[in-house]
Amino acid sequence: MILTSMSNNSGHTGQNKIDIVFGLPKHPFSYDYLISRLREYRSPRDKISLMIKRGEIIRIKKGLYVLSPRYGGIIDKRIIANLIYGPSYISLEYALGYWGLIPEKVVEVTSVTNKRNKYFDTPLGRFSYRYLNNRRFQFGFRYVEGEGGAFLVALKEKAICDKIFVEGNLGKFEIESYLEKNLRIDIKEILSLDIELVEEISRRYRNKSVSAFYCWLKMRSK
């Protein structure tokens, strides 16, 4: 959740001005919300710039801020990824790492969206978004509770299929090598996936590489 506004009946005293940082929410908030908290200042924009300079708040992108952790702010990049650009949900490498399918720690938060490809380099790191059409985008994810809120993340099966789709040009006899050598996924983990869900994903994707993955999984699961 992102706070976007504040009731007009919340007055501010001089003491409120001094303690404004400690009165901010721990989770991300919008520019409009921040302006509403600073409306008694002669120049709220200058105050915002000063708060950023002092390290009291972090500007994630235009219109989106979070309280610095040293003042109690909660920074969960998974939740923030959903807020930066949407509709979107975490998938691809970051989701594979989240589900424990790949051994490497994934730094860049990767997501899919039904809007155009987008990349954001922020003080919290890089957030990337890959386009999927609505047929491919609108299923195969779930809500998960994070630190200070919930976020959307692709299911294991969807994250793998999304990655294979983005990689492209993989045939049935190349899939296993790609999974083991490129992604370094334990084949035993792959064989435990929900094959019926992978079949549904394959039908929706209508993509050669994803279909090849389903055929390979079906063959190996026998």
Confidence of residue 4 (pLDDT cuts 50, 70, 90): low
Mean residue pLDDT across the chain: 91
Whether 110 and 215 map to the same domain: the answer is yes
Pair (99, 186) in one structural domain:
yes
Give the pLDDT mean for 11-28.
68
Q: Is residue 64 part of a domain?
A: yes
Specify the pLDDT at position 1.
57
Report the half-sphere exposure of 127 (CA within 13 A, side-chain side): 23
- Residue 4, in any domain of the structure: no
Domain-located, residue 109:
yes
Instruction: Tell me which residue range forms the domain holding 48.
Output: 14-71
Structure tokens at 145: 């509770």
Q: Are residues 148 and 168 in the same domain?
A: yes
Quote the pLDDT of residue 146: 85
Q: Give the per-residue SS3 of the chain.
A: CCECCCCCCCCCCHHHHHCCHHHCCCCCEEHHHHHHHCCCCCCHHHHHHHHHHCCCEEEEECCEEEECHHHCCCCCHHHHHHHHCCCEEECHHHHHHHCCCCCCCCCCEEEEECCCCEEEEECCEEEEEEECCHHHHCCCEEEEEECCEEEEEECHHHHHHHHHHHHCCCCCCCHHHHHHHHCCCCHHHHHCCCHHHHHHHHHHHCCHHHHHHHHHHHHHCC
Select the more confidently predicted residue: 219 or 20: 219
pLDDT given for residue 22 in this prediction: 81
Of all residues in the chain, the percent with pLDDT exceeding 90 is 82
Count of domains for the chain: 2
Same domain, 205 and 97: yes
pLDDT above 70 (res 6): no
- Reported as a single tens digit per residue, the pLDDT across 45-95 is 999 999 999 999 999 999 999 999 999 999 999 999 999 999 999 999 999
The model carries a pTM of 0.87
- Is residue 192 predicted with pLDDT exceeding 60? yes
Could you tell me the end-to-end alpha-carbon distance of the chain, in angstroms, rounded to an integer? Answer: 44
pLDDT in tens, 133-188: 999 999 999 999 988 789 999 999 999 999 999 998 898 889 999 999 999 999 99
Q: What is the pLDDT of residue 222?
A: 76
Domain match, 100 and 205 both: yes
Joined tokens for residue 184? 């370094």
